[in-house]
Amino acid sequence: MNVRTDMAESIFNLKKELCEIGRNIWLRGYCAGNEGNHSVRIGEDRVLCTPTGISKGFLTPEMIVTVDMEGNQIDTHNKYKRTSEILVHLAIYKKRPDVKAVIHSHPPHATAFCIADMPLPEGIHPEAEVFLGRVATAKYATPSKQDLPDSILPLIGPETNTVLMGNHGSVSFSTSLVDTYYKLEILDAYCKLLILAKQVGRVNVLNPAQMSELLEVKANFGIKDDRLACAADGCVGALQNDEFLATFGDVRPSGAMAGSGGGEVSEAEFEAMVQTITDQIMAAAG
């Protein structure tokens, strides 16, 4: 087999992979109707991306479109047209040469945080800390306009792999399509847990010592995280946890917020709780 045939085969395999990932995205309910788009970088000036107006659940390889880094469609014979959100993908590829795949989606649990305009809390679930790290939320921007990549790009550092889009959804990116898809899954699973914890009624935030130890484990996996340098001093959650934790009202035993071992109730809080319960019993007894 010559080099040209080899390359054609590997591109065809990538197109099939884009279809398979699309089917998973659709089956898991991350994209309804024709929502969402994903792409993979195949060369310095070439990107394969999903077409506009097609459900991610029913993609076939011939529907996959090839564009250059300016968003021009290369396979002009293709009756399918590139996604209208290609600008977001290309902006990320340009900013981060290490990124090989991008998925934009509307995972419902994560998108609930976007539409609530609530920063995603951190320091709560080990998997999310190791595989996502800090996830920032961009201000709302109109889809398919340059405003959208402009709103996201300033939030992308060398370690970022996921950004939430105000009132809209998520964008995940990594060194392979499969790994990018895992970021999306982990994001929505984490947000689902947070929403369930809200139903259960409280959340325990990992304390600085626990976070520091976890980020050391992450470093040992070879995944960089800036927060390792300051986790022991309580930087994790300091910027973005207050709004979510405030929704729990007074029943919030939080390690980071209380600055103690986490989950412990002070004597004063305990006294107040006893008083409240006593008052309720007395009121019920008439």
| Residues that bind Zn ion in the complex, under the rule CB under 5 A | 169
Q: How far apart are CA 120 and CA 162, in angstroms?
A: 11
Task: State which residue, 22 or 123, has the beta carbon closest to Zn ion.
Answer: 22
Task: State which residue, 141 or 256, has the beta carbon closest to Zn ion.
Answer: 141
Task: State which residue, 188 or 225, has the beta carbon closest to Zn ion.
Answer: 188
Q: How far apart are CA 181 and CA 187, in angstroms?
A: 10
Task: State which residue, 38 or 41, has the beta carbon closest to Zn ion.
Answer: 38
Task: State which residue, 22 or 169, has the beta carbon closest to Zn ion.
Answer: 169
Task: State which residue, 11 or 88, has the beta carbon closest to Zn ion.
Answer: 88
Residue 208 contacts by C-beta under 8 Å, 6 or more apart in sequence? 231, 232, 233, 234, 236, 255, 256
Torsions phi, psi for 124 (to 5 deg): -120, -40
Secondary structure letter of residue 73 according to DSSP: B
State the Cα torsion 227-228-232-235 to the nearest 10°: 0
Provide the minimum distance between the beta carbon of 165 and Zn ion in the complex, in angstroms, as a whole number.
Answer: 7
Provide the minimum distance between the beta carbon of 152 and Zn ion in the complex, in angstroms, as a whole number.
Answer: 12
Q: Of 29, 39, 32, which Cα lies nearest the Cα of 83?
A: 39
Q: Of 151, 152, 159, 164, which Cα lies nearest the Cα of 175?
A: 159
Provide the minimum distance between the beta carbon of 102 and Zn ion in the complex, in angstroms, as a whole number.
Answer: 12
Q: Are strands 46-49 and 65-67 parallel, antiparallel or unpaired?
A: antiparallel
**Residue showing the smallest CB distance to Zn ion in the complex:** 169
Provide the minimum distance between the beta carbon of 45 and Zn ion in the complex, in angstroms, as a whole number.
Answer: 25
Q: Which helix (H) or strand (E) holds 41?
A: strand 37-43
Provide the minimum distance between the beta carbon of 104 and Zn ion in the complex, in angstroms, as a whole number.
Answer: 6
Provide the minimum distance between the beta carbon of 36 and Zn ion in the complex, in angstroms, as a whole number.
Answer: 6
Q: What amino acid is encoded at 56 in this protein?
A: K
